[in-house]
């Protein structure tokens, strides 16, 4: 086995990198579950990772929205603040709507059993939703987003969420495979 760190300052301490496994024997005592069932057992547990990631995305989105709102409400434009601009308020409100979608998905995820396709929907929606929120909030903050440790830096780090645990593109392909299941039932 060999490993190579990603080596980028964006992910310091996150242990992001590349692992390569060559000629690694797996002794019988390390097998998870019954032989031939490891992928199925793993799939049952991946939902937990996706739920934790969704809660993280929801919490981060709310924190960024609150910070951005305070910034817009106090940033002077001469005789007023940025918050009084109708276009800025509309753009910010779209972020709030996106955050409420994430919140509703997280709440629904804790109230009923889910199939693998439901976890894919949650992962894709949260990965895309948190990116939309952070992108727009960074745009609303302008140059302030690019200060050291600012929102632009955080946004670049958060982009990893759309990849780790299953890239959004892979999730969307899986969702497409389960369209009949996802669209079935009442409603």
In order along the chain (187 residues), what is the average pLDDT of each group of 10 residues? 71 67 78 69 74 90 97 95 97 97 90 78 89 96 94 87 71 88 78
Cα distances from 145 to residues 55, 125, 126, 185, in angstroms, run: 24, 24, 22, 44
- What are the E-state strand segments in 16-163? 17-20
According to the model, what pLDDT value does residue 65 have?
Answer: 98
CATH architecture of the domain covering 47-179: Up-down Bundle (1.20)
Upper half-sphere CA count for residue 117 (Cβ side, 13 Å)? 12
Q: In the prediction, which pLDDT does 98 show?
A: 96
Neighbours of 67 (CB within 10 A): 13
What's the pLDDT at 137?
98
Say what the pLDDT of residue 46 is. Answer: 76
Joined tokens for residue 142: 């302008």
Q: What is the pLDDT of residue 157?
A: 84
pLDDT at 166: 64
Q: What is the pTM of this model?
A: 0.78
Q: List all residues 6 or more positions away from 114 whose beta carbon is below 8 Å from its beta carbon.
A: 47, 122
């Amino acid at each position: 086995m060999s490993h190579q760190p990603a080596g980028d300052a964006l992910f310091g301490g996150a242990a992001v990198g590349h692992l390569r496994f060559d000629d690694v024997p797996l002794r019988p005592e390390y097998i998870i579950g019954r032989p031939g069932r490891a992928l199925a057992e793993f799939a049952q547990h991946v939902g937990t990772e996706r739920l934790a990631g969704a809660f993280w995305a929801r919490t981060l989105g709310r924190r960024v929205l609150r910070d951005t709102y305070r910034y817009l409400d106090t940033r002077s434009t001469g005789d007023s603040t940025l918050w009084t601009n109708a276009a800025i308020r509309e753009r910010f409100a779209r972020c709030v709507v996106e955050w409420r979608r994430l919140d509703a998905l997280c709440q629904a995820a804790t109230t009923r059993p889910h199939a693998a396709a439901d976890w894919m929907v949650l992962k894709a929606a949260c990965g895309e939703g948190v990116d939309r929120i952070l992108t727009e909030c960074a745009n609303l903050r302008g140059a302030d987003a690019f200060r050291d440790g600012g929102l632009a830096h955080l946004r670049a780090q958060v982009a990893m969420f759309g990849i780790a645990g299953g890239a959004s593109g892979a999730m969307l392909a899986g969702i497409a495979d389960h369209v009949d299941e996802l669209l079935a039932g009442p409603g």
